[in-house]
């Protein structure tokens, strides 16, 4: 029995799609098809789903806005889980948000309620779950700094993580180890709405300098003391191309997909790593996450 049929039979009320296009649901816009995509509608349904996926050894991948993910060219014999039905923001001793809340919705809610602290994330394509998992941000602020507590599912059980438990690091957190963020309580200050809007605009305008086109944002983490983009550029790799994948001329840590395949993008990543290693001895590590993760 295929993954879609198993999930349909075992959780008949689960909102489920069959043949889910990874190219259509990732910003890089390439890759195969997943057998299923599940959209749990509550934290309890999500916990039940992850219990089932783990007990039946069904391969699964949580996808947020798909902004930092490179799918494989092959079809994924498993299920994607999207938490887009666990979204929304409310005020409960802080700002309580669902993992599927988009960055745009979070910022709009904060602005309408005169809450400050999220302006540096304006324009980053993300959901709250993805931003926590990746500790996304800009040099002034990373998302982990806004977190008070996280409600997550770990091995099928709901668990509350304190900020310390989340182990936020450079583009990393404990949620990269098969622990799924469902909700988060965020710290917010208060300020004048106009001042909030002006700060958002500042951060948005700065992003106009980023490359245009289909990408995953930065492909590699910065090695200690140097930016990955500067290193790639110094190795003469701006404009390097494999099939339809090309290293951006604007920012060398961005790979643009100009009608290529996921295999083109993967090959270009491998090529960049090889050249940088040969020329500088530095090993670049990917920030982007692979789907499936091997």
Token pair listed for 249: 């001329």
User: Would you say 16 or 128 has its CB closer to ligand FAD?
Assistant: 128
Q: How far is the CB of 150 from ligand FAD (least distance, A)?
A: 9
- Write each residue from 66 to 95 as x if it is in contact with ligand FAD (CB under 6 A), else as -, in one continuous string: xxxx-------------x------------
| CA 174 to the chain's CA centroid | 14
* Among 65, 77, 7, CA closest to 40: 7
Q: How far apart are CA 268 and CA 243, in angstroms?
A: 9
98 forms part of the interface with ligand FAD (CB under 6 A): no
Characterize 32-57 residue by residue with b for buried, 16 or more Cβ atoms within 10 angstroms of its Cβ, and e for exposed: bbbbbbbbbeebebbbbbbebbeeee
| Interactions with ligand FAD, residue window 199-218 (CB under 6 A) | 210, 215-217
Please pick, from the candidates 7, 22, 95, 136, the single residue that binds ligand FAD as defined by CB under 6 A. Answer: 136
276 forms part of the interface with ligand FAD (CB under 6 A): no
Element (H, E) at 268: helix 262-280
181 forms part of the interface with ligand FAD (CB under 6 A): yes
Q: How far apart are CA 243 and CA 199, in angstroms?
A: 40
Q: How far apart are CA 153 and CA 58, in angstroms?
A: 16
43 forms part of the interface with ligand FAD (CB under 6 A): no
| Interactions with ligand FAD, residue window 231-270 (CB under 6 A) | none
133 forms part of the interface with ligand FAD (CB under 6 A): yes
Please pick, from the candidates 3, 131, 228, 272, the single residue that binds ligand FAD as defined by CB under 6 A. Answer: 131
Which window, 45-53, 70-78, 175-183, 277-285, contacts ligand FAD (CB under 6 A)? 175-183
* Among 61, 59, 66, CA closest to 30: 66
Query: What is the residue-wise DSSP string for 95-135?
Result: EEEETT-BHHHHHHHHHHTTEES-GGGTT---BHHHHHHHT
Size of interface with ligand FAD, in residues (CB under 6 A): 32
Q: Which residues contact ligand FAD by CB under 6 A? A: 27, 61-69, 83, 99, 124-127, 129-131, 133-134, 136-138, 175, 180-181, 210, 215-217, 289
């Amino acid at each position: 029995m295929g993954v879609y049929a198993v999930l349909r039979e075992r959780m008949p009320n689960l909102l489920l799609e069959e043949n889910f296009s990874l190219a259509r649901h990732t910003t890089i816009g390439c890759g195969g098809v997943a057998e299923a995509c599940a959209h749990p509608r509550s934290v309890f349904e999500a916990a039940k789903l992850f219990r089932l996926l783990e007990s039946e050894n069904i391969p699964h991948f949580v996808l947020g806005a798909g902004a930092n993910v490179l799918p494989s060219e092959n079809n994924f014999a498993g299920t994607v889980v999207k938490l887009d039905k666990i979204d929304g923001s409310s005020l409960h001793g802080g700002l309580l948000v669902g993992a599927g809340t988009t960055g745009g919705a979070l910022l709009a809610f904060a602005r309408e309620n005169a809450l400050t602290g999220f302006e540096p994330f304006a324009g980053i394509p993300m959901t709250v779950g993805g931003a926590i998992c990746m500790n996304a941000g800009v040099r002034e602020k990373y998302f982990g700094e806004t977190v008070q507590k996280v409600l997550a599912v770990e091995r099928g059980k709901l668990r509350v993580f304190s900020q310390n438990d989340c182990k936020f690091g450079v583009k990393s957190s404990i949620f990269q180890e098969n622990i799924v963020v469902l909700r988060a309580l965020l710290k917010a200050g208060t300020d004048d709405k106009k001042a909030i809007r002006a700060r958002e605009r500042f951060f948005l305008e700065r992003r106009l300098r980023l490359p245009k086109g289909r990408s995953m944002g930065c492909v590699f983490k910065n090695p200690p003391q140097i930016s990955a983009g500067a290193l790639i550029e110094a190795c003469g790799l701006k404009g390097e191309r494999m099939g339809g994948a090309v290293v951006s001329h604007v920012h060398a840590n961005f790979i643009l997909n100009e009608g290529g395949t996921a295999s083109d993008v993967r090959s270009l990543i491998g090529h960049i790593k090889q050249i940088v290693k040969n020329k500088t001895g530095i090993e670049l590590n990917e920030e982007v996450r692979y789907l499936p993760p091997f």
